[in-house]
Structure formats: structure tokens, C-alpha cells
Amino acid sequence: MRHGALRSAIITVALTLSSAAPLFAQSDTSLSGAVSGRELCEQAVCGSAIFVAAFAGQIDHRPAVGLAIGAIRHTDLPTAPNECATIVGGSWSISTLRRNLSGSIEFGGKVCYIDGIKYLVSLTMDIDHGGDGKANLTVELDHQPFPPTVKGFITQ
């Protein structure tokens, strides 16, 4: 009788844990932090605007520091206030000692004119590898002095 009760308890615990595991696996990856870096190549030369930046923030609520790389494709840059270019795609990655995340950049982000030297870039990053979910990137792209710089934040 005791063995039957023990076996029943073990089976109940095992089923409970196995049914809970998919719930944990389906949660979105938490990604937030600051980025600061440089534009390495403009779209007219490389086919995508290519950026590299330091990342300091959190991944899944744990401190993380690493390297962020992005390649962004956009329509022609705006030349007057209140004009924006549309981001048509791209890819990105963040590599830290503990974790590597990467993915695609959704169509529909914006590169908006500030003053002819500076642009406000806002886009949505799909987390396709190393996690799940989406994150938003907002940076200021400053074309002077050379090489152009980017500084901003990743939020959710």
C-alpha cells in the first residue's frame, strides 16, 4: 500500500513539473539597456548601414555587458524637418559572456531628420535566436565628427 501511494505521489509531481516546463519556455526574453557606438559603413557603400556599439544593460533581469552589431536597410534619408525615412529591414546581434541574442529588424521603423547632422532612429528588433520576443531601439545618430556615432537605449 505504501509503495502505491509513493508511486502515485512521484507520478503526480513528475506530471506537474513536466506540464509547467513549457510555460517557462514560452516566456519572452527581457532585454533592456544602453548602447553607444559607431557607424562603420553607410548604406550607400555597404548595402546596409552597419553599426557596432557597446551594450550595458540586462538580459532576463541579469546584468549584462557586451557587443551589439546591427545592419539596417532604409529608404533615402530625409533632408528636412519632420521628414523620416522608413526602415525596411535588417539584422542585429548582442553578444555577452553569458548569452548571445540575435534577430531581424521589422519593417516600419523610422530614421527622422533632426538637423541635417543628427537623426533619430527608432525600430523594433525581433529576438529570433537565443530567446523570444521583441525589443525597441531608440538612438540618436550623429554624423559629426567623423566617424558617425550612435547613442541610445533598448527598451520593452
Q: What is the pLDDT along the chain (156 residues), one digit of tens a residue?
A: 455 554 454 444 444 444 444 444 558 999 999 999 999 999 999 999 999 999 999 999 999 999 999 999 999 999 999 899 999 999 999 999 999 999 999 999 999 999 989 999 999 999 999 999 999 999 999 999 899 999 999 999
- Write down the pTM of the prediction: 0.82
Domain-by-domain residue ranges, the chain? Answer: 28-155
The rounded distance, in Å, linking the Cα atoms of 121 and 126 is 16
pLDDT score for 13: 42
103-108: list long-range contacts, CB under 8 Å, 24+ apart: 103/127, 103/128, 103/129, 104/128, 105/70, 105/72, 106/134
Of the candidates 67, 88, 68, which has an alpha carbon nearest to the alpha carbon of residue 76?
A: 88
The rounded distance, in Å, linking the Cα atoms of 63 and 155 is 15
- 124: which 3 cell numbers? 523594433
CA 33, 151, 37, 120 torsion-angle sign: positive
The rounded distance, in Å, linking the Cα atoms of 37 and 54 is 6
